[in-house]
Amino acid sequence: HSVTHLSGNWATFTDSLKNNHAHQLSLITQLTDDIQLEKLHFHIQPQVNLADRSIIGGEVLIRWHNQYLGQVSPAEFIPLAEQTGLIYKLTDMLLEKVFHWASEHPRLLETQRLSVNISALDLLQEDFAKRVIKQIQSHQLSAKKFTIEITETSVFQNNDIVHNNVKLLHRTGFKLAIDDFGVGYSSMQNLVSLETDELKIDQFFVMNLLNDPQSQTLCRNMIDLSKALTIISVAEGIESEEVLQLLLQWQCQVGQGYHLYRPMTPTDYLTLVG
Ligand code: C2E
Ligand code: MG
Ligand code: MG
Ligand code: MG
């Protein structure tokens, strides 16, 4: 770091650097411990068929409450877990919890399906699909009831390991969703070559629908693209009835967002759909 131009603010700069560094370190230390102790848990956000508003399933969202740090957002700790390699154990632990919970409520999966987020790094592990399949089979669950959400990154382009994992997961019955479509790296080629089942339109576009014509155009195009490829379109971040009506008009099939349901505890989700 070049700090010469900050000489006037040197004290505050080093303080915040130190604090920041210390904060990161304690995050990593605490995360390592809590993953080991399997202390992370999950919430579920219902996903709704926009045409009749029935709940078709839910997205599993990881939650972390640490005894010293309090509630930490996945937006903060997932990238850190990816940088430190903790992500593999984290994904494994979370899937185990989700499968275990689902197997304890067999009636749930008769009507609902569950969507889980995994990291692109997971798919770069040669044996990822094999391990997940072993896990789901040990709980005697049908993979058909589960969707795997991945956020594309450039590493996906023509990557054999990724493609083999996705192929094997598909063959076992898992569905594949491309998350946060339209932001960062996303390619139409991957939609086709990975045989994607769902395209999730990033909430950035959905939240700006009413006041940004460009987001409207992009949303419509993403929905049309899904239709052309017979992929299910899912809009995330629906925060008002007006936005929902627009999406419905454009024939977006599935939606989630605070206007419909907020993420909730698995117990509340069972009550809601039971
Ligand atoms: P995502 O997969 O795109 O999940 C959607 C995020 O939007 C969630 O944030 C959800 O709580 C939030 N959300 C849903 N509806 C609304 C709405 O109407 N308005 C607003 N403002 N936000 C809404 P969350 O739970 O904080 O998760 C953030 C991100 O962390 C997720 O984005 C996902 O990329 C990642 N993540 C969450 N759980 C896991 C996990 O188990 N594994 C991995 N690898 N990543 C996860
Ligand atoms: Mg997601
Ligand atoms: Mg998303
Ligand atoms: Mg997102």
Q: Can you give the pLDDT at residue 7?
A: 46
Q: Ligand 1 test: best mutation among 71, 95, 203, 265, most atoms within 8 Å of CB?
A: 203
Provide the 3-class DSSP secondary structure of residue 146.
strand
262 CB near ligand 1 (under 6 Å): no
117 CB near ligand 1 (under 6 Å): yes
pLDDT digits (tens, 9 = 90+) for 103-126: 999 999 999 999 999 999 999 999
Q: Can you give the pLDDT at residue 16?
A: 62
pLDDT digits (tens, 9 = 90+) for 180-217: 988 877 778 888 888 999 999 999 999 999 999 999 99
* Alpha-carbon torsion, ordered 138, 139, 144, 149, to 10 deg: -90
Q: If you average pLDDT over every residue of the chain, what do you get?
A: 92
Average pLDDT over residues 140-151: 96
Q: Is the pLDDT of residue 15 over 80?
A: no
Q: Is the pLDDT of residue 39 over 80?
A: yes
Q: Can you give the pLDDT at residue 18?
A: 59
Q: Is the pLDDT of residue 10 over 90?
A: no
Task: Tell me how far the alpha carbon of residue 215 lies from the centroid of ligand 2, in angstroms.
Answer: 20
Q: In this prediction, does ipTM exceed 0.85?
A: yes
266 CB near ligand 1 (under 6 Å): no
115 CB near ligand 1 (under 6 Å): no
The candidate with the shortest Cα–Cα distance to 163, out of 201, 133, 120, 132, is 120
The candidate with the shortest Cα–Cα distance to 41, out of 81, 96, 85, 83, is 96
Q: How far apart are CA 89 and CA 40, in angstroms?
A: 11
What pTM was estimated for this model as a whole?
A: 0.93
Q: Is the pLDDT of residue 248 over 60?
A: yes
- Residue 205, C-beta contacts closer than 8 angstroms, at least 6 positions apart: 182, 215, 218, 219, 222
Q: Can you give the pLDDT at residue 193?
A: 87
Q: Ligand 1 test: best mutation among 117, 118, 260, most atoms within 8 Å of CB?
A: 117
- Going through the chain in order, the beta strands assigned E by DSSP cover 41-49, 55-66, 70-72, 113-118, 146-151, 175-181, 198-201, 232-236, 254-256
Q: Could you give the percent of the chain with pLDDT greater than 90?
A: 82
Determine the distance from the C-alpha atom of residue 106 to the mean position of all C-alpha atoms in its chain, rounded to a whole number.
23
Helices (H), 139-262: 160-172, 188-193, 203-207, 213-228, 241-249
Provide the 3-class DSSP secondary structure of residue 265.
coil
In the chain, how long is the greatest CA-to-CA distance? 64
Task: Tell me how far the alpha carbon of residue 61 lies from the centroid of ligand 2, in angstroms.
Answer: 8
Which residue minimizes the CA distance to atom 22 of ligand 1?
A: 237
